[in-house]
Amino acid sequence: MNRILLSSICFVSVLLICIFGTKHVETSTLPLIDQAKTSLFYAQNDDMQSAILSMEALILDWEETSNILGVLLRHNEIDDLDQIFILCLEYAKNGNQESFQVETSSLIHRLEHLIEKEKFSIKNIF
Amino acid sequence: MMISLSRTIILYLFVIFSIRLMGKRQIGELQPSELVVTILVSELATLPMQDFDLPILLGIIPIVTLVFFEHIVSFICMKNVKIRRFINGNPCIIIKDGKLDIKTLTSLRISVDEVLEELRVNNVTEIEDVKYAIIETNGQLSYILYPHARNVTSGMLNINSPDSSLPLVVVNDGYILEHNLSDLKKNREWLLNYLYENGRIDIKSVFLMTLDSSNNIFIQQRNE
């Protein structure tokens, strides 16, 4: 009986981690998406200086978030996003507005996909 | 490199914990569901060990889930005969009254050679000597011999043989196992006194000493 109790406690803990993990991916990624969209908006309105500042702030937030995300998600996904963030900032600093917009759109899509992938849905289960 | 080392240590400890949690049955006699879980646990543990892209948590979650469901299924099987039969199957009689049940053997896909081999392992050479042979749900063969083929026991000969009890280790490599001594209603003083009276043996020189409830003692010293 003790073993059943102990394995039940472990299972409940794992269940809570899963629920927290799914929620955390969503709550931590949504503000990043909003920030990326703001940065893209600045770029589309030819305000590259604000776009750079916004992207720099976004990268700082990402570095903080990615530590916990690394426990929950595959590390190569985090590494890929790291690279896109760096590319976006470089494009912005070099004044390559078109590439910045393409790369930021891709970043937004990848971040949205992170939430989509963790959602508890029939599509994801199968 | 250090990541690999630490991941392996964490997962090793975790798998040991999981296997211990599943209990002793898991190590000895595996039922079909238990076999599946044991194989899956070992496979799952190796994934995060080798693939550094995989968070260690993604290895731990399925292991905990499998162990939990294995417990639940075992518990349900223990309480419900129908579910137990569905999950673990039924024992099958393959030899009845000294004759092989060919139909059962065919359905189990067991050859006669395999049956004979298994019987030979158990020192049975003639099928005619076997009254019943049963393939248990864990795949092991158990058998009941005809009385004429069974080993003679003291009971059959009406001989009163002294009852022997389980010998317990009381000294292991110079170290006194107090709990075994107390199970036998003895104490450290009795042990040291016994060793002193029987050749002034130093406790540190005793490699193994066993004792049973009938006071049968076996001592092996280091230098023997």
Residues of chain B predicted below pLDDT 50: 26
pLDDT digits (tens, 9 = 90+) for B15-61: 888 877 776 554 556 777 778 888 888 888 888 888 888 888 888 89
Q: Which residues in chain B have Cβ-Cβ distances shorter than 8 Å to A74?
A: 53-55, 58
Residue type, A122: I
Q: Which residues in chain A have Cβ-Cβ distances shorter than 8 Å to B68?
A: 7-8, 10-11
CB contact under 8 A, B21 and A14: no
Candidates A12, A14, A75, A79: best to mutate against B (most CBs of B within 10 A) is A14
| Structure token pair of residue B34 | 């238990």
pLDDT number for residue A49: 87
CB contact under 8 A, A3 and B23: yes
Mean pLDDT of chain A: 89
Which residues lie below 8 Å from residue A84, measured CB to CB, with a gap of 6+?
Answer: A103, A106, A107, A110
Task: Say whether pTM exceeds 0.90.
Answer: no
CB-based burial label for A103 (10 Å; 0-12, 13-18, 19+):
buried
CB contact under 8 A, A3 and B61: no
Mean pLDDT of chain B: 86
A70 in B contact zone (CB under 8 Å) = yes
Q: State the nearest Cα–Cα gap between A20 and chain B, in angstroms.
A: 13
pLDDT number for residue A12: 93
pLDDT digits (tens, 9 = 90+) for A33-72: 999 999 899 888 888 888 889 889 999 999 988 888 888 8
CB contact under 8 A, A17 and B61: yes
d(Cα B183, Cα B172) in Å, to the nearest integer? 16
CB B165 within 8 A of CB B214: yes
Question: Which residue from B21, B53, B60 is facing A3, i.e. has the nearest CB?
Answer: B21
pLDDT number for residue B23: 67
CB contact under 8 A, B60 and A74: no
Could you tell me which of A70, A73, A72, A100 has the C-alpha nearest to residue A84? A100
pLDDT number for residue B28: 53
